[in-house]
Chain A
Amino acid sequence: MKLKVGIFGLTSCAGDQLTILNCEEELLEIFEALDIKVFSMASSGHDFGMLDIAFVEGAVVTEEDIEVLHNIRKNSRRVVAIGTCAASGGVATGKEIMGAKEAYQTVYGSTMINTTPLNKSYPLDYFIEVDYTIRGCPVRESEVMYYFKKFATMDPQKNEVLPYPIDRGVKDDETELKDQVISYHPEKCISCRRCVNVCSEGLGVDAISMVDRGYDEKVSTPFTKNFAATTCISCGQCIQSCYCGALKEREGNLELFEKAIEEGRRVVALIDPMILASLNENLYTDEPENTHALMRKMIVALKQLGAQKVFNYAAAQHISLFRTVQDSLENPGQRKILSWCPSANFWITKLKKDFVPNLDLGHRPPGIARDLIERRYGPVHIAMITPCTSMKKVSEFDAVISTKEISRLIQKNRINIDLCDIEDVAFDKFVITEPLIDVLADTPAIDGMGDEVANYTMAFKAKQNVFHRFTLPDGAIVRTLDYKDVHFKIATITDLTKADEVLDNINSYDFIEFIPCLAGCLTGGGQYPTLDPRVVAQRKERMEAYNQGSLEWSNRILKARLYKELQGMIPKACEKEEVE
């Protein structure tokens, strides 16, 4: 049977379709070997049914394009992006710089066109999964012909042409996803070395490097081992620094989530409020700046997707804080290195083995969350929605969905979150039914864990406001807190290359926290990629607006008191270790 092929054009100059038409010598052969169902340029029919392969050219710049694209994906087994516009957004991305309105006027003048333009231009893989990418403006004839011939004779395996150079680890599907969170697509790589520089000079991790010489040069791990076997700490900063989408998070978590819903399992979602930092850059909504409303819309959207309950991950973080503070008051100076960040823990266990005894792994928010949810709701499938790629390695969660992926999931299921009714919508409660403790569940945390531990310890002991809020600066910072008989020295390190100074004098500190990502969770591996300081500042502002009021000092004292009073009601979490 002939393969059914469709060739589509979104917003573009149609130069790539023209390239295909220009292959005069081979054109007849192709039409004989393949069943071309749709060819936007050569025919006008649009009734195509199910396709085997869809070649799509052009960028996504209007709402209508998104609709067409989803339709294509739904009806095709393979999608191949052809041309620069489809691969990376093309020249239309320029309207992001000059402003959508001005760009429209420059191009079309006063003519009105019956479309709903997006404020940006997007590559195809922003909305759907793309199987192959052929770059070029226009694409080379021979390259297109290669794919045509390949498809005509057999159905190619993914990345068969340019073999995936990094070992994928164990074969079992679910363990494989936990094994390695980063994937590399050499056909997209332009060898700019930003990822390698971030990994070696920015973080001092050296998990990836350029291998081979000349035209064959590519990014790889040492001896092409899988990432779990290298020094990789899964921070995802290489994904953040990649301009062309060659480094991505491993796909598959979305499928796990959808599969669990299909199978009728009890699915609950956990949202880390930090996703709000870049969610509006991903998700097209009417009022992207209203973060509280956006969060509530997300809760509704997740319930529409099939999640039975939606919880706030920050609540688990706060319970973790209380327990850590209690521990440190009972046994001071035992465990000095603490952070919520899994990738900081990987960094210690993989690269600073001498300091593993100092690492506090006792009260981990993932363990607490799973424990509390399962106590109340029985066995559940937990989907974690987080800006963090290293979270994907945490065994407590069944599916870990990044900020980028959640917006793709929402677009894919055609949920218009602007139509979500957000009246009377709030996070579900973990365990406690007392109305007073609601304040625990609605509090997000932006500060580092070390700092918060110190703050809460003071709240537990001193019950008075003695210091102001702390913001994360560049590199390493050391703070001292003194009040009556309580003295703390806290180091927060956001530049791992400066960590050695602090680790050498570990005894002089009470708490040390590491944050591998370059601007904390604001540029976590799952956020929309940017290392632009202006964008980071915007994200920070947005998060601070969301947190406003909840981080007041009185709030902390109130929570500390509440916690003391209600101590018996929160069960002790089972202690699960998440680091190998």
Chain B
Amino acid sequence: MVEERLILLRNKNRKGYDPCTLEDYLGRGGYDALKKAVEKGPRWVINEISKSRLRGRGGAGFHAGFKWESVAMQTNKDKVLIANFDEGEEGTFKDRTIVETDPFMLIEGMTIAAYAMGINKAFIYNRGEYPFLPPVFEKCISQAKEKGLLGRSILDLDFDLDIEVVRGAGAYVCGESSALLQSIEGLPGRARIKTKRTAVSGLFDRPTCVNNVETLANVPYIVMEGGSNYSSIGTRQSTGTRIVSLSGHVKRPGAYEIEMGKCSLKDIIEDLGGGVDGKRISSVLLGGASGSLITGSGLDLNYTMEDAESRDLTLGSGVVVVFNETTCPVDLVHNLLGFFAFESCGKCTPCRTGTHHLVRILENIRTGVSSDAEMERGMEISRVMDGASICGLGKTASTPYQTLVANFKDIVDQHIRGDCPSNVCPMGGENR
């Protein structure tokens, strides 16, 4: 029986605890980490983060310590820190859970990060679909400012930090860091062609550090416990805990914080989610819309980044969506690709036309008028998209299609022959 390991969500469901009150947060040991960080100095903080081997929780899994170091190295004084709170990935709600449980944890994490890298300006890029959270942030920021934990001369030191909340307009591509920067600059949210690294020239050509909310929320804990202690949680390459956004056909969907390497995908679904809601699991979407679609037989996967990589999968932003026998994988992927065709910004041709063509091919498969050759052409298109798109959206948009053809070959073949086993797709039978 697997249980949650609560670090980020330790104040979840705590009675009498108001997340938006600074007194409550201070009463539970809040801002001790900032005081410790200030005592030890910025160099020490970055070293501890590097030692903790904390990896970005947004999906790419970039080492946070390395990113911080490269921003701290920049001599330009106007550096910027951005908390990427644009969790547009389908099935993700971990960042929202963190912010609703403990908004101060994020703000403290950002303050420590800014202190370590010598940054005076920070942004929280709030997802357009979360219009109710900016007021929460405003309330927290004003309280922190009153206590001297934010704003001018934090803790009576020569360290200023201003946090600004920016609201997105609801575009999925704005979760990609360069499109996010465009959006904050007031331009249409389209990915940039990356000739320079964001750490060198990002927002308004300044050195910029873009971190996921979950990554930043881990910072206070690492500073308090020390980097080497943190790295003892989890496995060697996947340290710490991970918040899994479990949804779909399970009995108890929700955000569960687990220690990495301690449980398999099956444990998560069975023990935490209470098992599948229906007869059997037909497919599991791992890592969100741009993640992989796996069959029920792949559930023995140990939930760590290295195990996922060894199977050519990705954990993405920690999404696990379970589908029972009433969902047809072809129909599902058709839906996902439709989403990408809608959300593609249109800047680069592989993504703009590739998503469009994949939707058409899937529409043909779905209605039983496709052929093996057309399916193969779809694979070719997805390889081009992988290699030639300029941002993560185009590079990963074809993953559901590729994994569909790889893992559900028999079901796709059945569709090509004109039969949908789940009786969902509009071909033959009662749905005609």
Contacts and interface: CB of A to CB of B under 8 A. Distances in A.
B345 A215 contact: no
B93 to A, nearest CB: 25
B345 to A, nearest CB: 6
Nearest to B349: A191
Contacts of B231: none
B349 A215 contact: no
A212 B345 CA distance: 8
A217 B355 CA distance: 14
A210 interface: yes
- Chain A contact patch, size range: 10 to 19
A461 B341 CA distance: 69
Contacts of A49: none
Nearest to A190: B349
| Main DSSP-derived SS at the B contact region | helix
Interface string A497-510: 00000000000000
A214 B340 CA distance: 9
Contacts of B352: 191, 214-215, 217
Contact of A215 (B171, B344, B347): B344
A534 interface: no
Contacts of A191: 346, 349, 352
B353 interface: yes
Contacts of B345: 213-214
B349 A214 contact: no
Nearest to A209: B188
Interface string A202-228: 000000001011111100000000000
Interface in B345-362: 345-347, 349, 352-353, 355-356
- In this complex, the member of B171, B345, B346, B356 whose beta carbon has the largest number of chain A beta carbons within 10 angstroms is B346
Interface in A186-210: 190-191, 193, 210
A383 to B, nearest CB: 41
B342 interface: yes
A365 to B, nearest CB: 41
Nearest to B353: A215
A338 B343 CA distance: 48
Nearest to A211: B188
Interface string B58-98: 00000000000000000000000000000000000000000
B179 to A, nearest CB: 11
Contacts of B343: 213-214
A193 B355 CA distance: 20
A83 B352 CA distance: 22
Interface residues of B, number: 14
Contacts of B353: 215
Contacts of B188: 210
Contacts of A216: 346
Interface in B332-384: 341-347, 349, 352-353, 355-356
Nearest to A210: B346
Contacts of B355: 214-215
Contacts of B171: 213
A212 to B, nearest CB: 7
Interface in B266-319: none
Contacts of A213: 171, 342-346
A216 B341 CA distance: 10
Contacts of B342: 213-214
Interface in B172-195: 188
A213 B345 CA distance: 5
Contacts of B346: 191, 210, 212-217
A191 B346 CA distance: 8
A344 B422 CA distance: 66
Nearest to B189: A213
Contacts of B341: 214-215
A210 B356 CA distance: 18
A193 B193 CA distance: 13
A193 B345 CA distance: 13
Nearest to B346: A217
B341 to A, nearest CB: 6
B374 to A, nearest CB: 14
B347 to A, nearest CB: 8
Contacts of A217: 346, 352
Find the residue from A210, A214, A215, A217 having the highest chain B CB count within 10 A: A214
A548 to B, nearest CB: 45
A208 to B, nearest CB: 14
B117 to A, nearest CB: 31
A580 B344 CA distance: 41
A210 B344 CA distance: 14
Nearest to B342: A214
A212 B188 CA distance: 10
A215 B344 CA distance: 8
Contacts of A193: 347
A3 to B, nearest CB: 30
Nearest to B340: A214
Nearest to A214: B344
Interface string B132-176: 000000000000000000000000000000000000000100000
Interface string A528-542: 000000000000000
A331 to B, nearest CB: 45
Q: Which of A210, A215, A217 has the most CB of B within 10 A?
A: A215
A14 to B, nearest CB: 24
Most chain B CB neighbours (cut-off 10 Å) among A190, A210, A213, A216 = A213
A377 B347 CA distance: 55
Nearest to A218: B346
B108 to A, nearest CB: 37
Interface in B103-137: none
B164 to A, nearest CB: 26
A215 B353 CA distance: 6
Interface string A12-42: 0000000000000000000000000000000
Given A213-B171, A215-B356, A217-B352, 17 more contacts: A190-B349, A191-B346, A191-B349, A210-B188, A210-B347, A212-B346, A213-B342, A213-B346, A214-B342, A214-B343, A214-B344, A214-B346, A214-B355, A214-B356, A215-B344, A215-B352, A215-B355
9 pairs of A and B residues whose beta carbons are closest in the complex = A217-B346, A214-B344, A214-B346, A215-B356, A213-B346, A213-B345, A214-B352, A215-B352, A214-B341
27 contacts: A190-B349, A191-B349, A191-B352, A210-B188, A210-B346, A213-B342, A213-B343, A213-B346, A214-B341, A214-B342, A214-B343, A214-B344, A214-B345, A214-B346, A214-B352, A214-B355, A214-B356, A215-B341, A215-B344, A215-B346, A215-B352, A215-B353, A215-B355, A215-B356, A216-B346, A217-B346, A217-B352
Interface of B: 171, 188, 341-347, 349, 352-353, 355-356
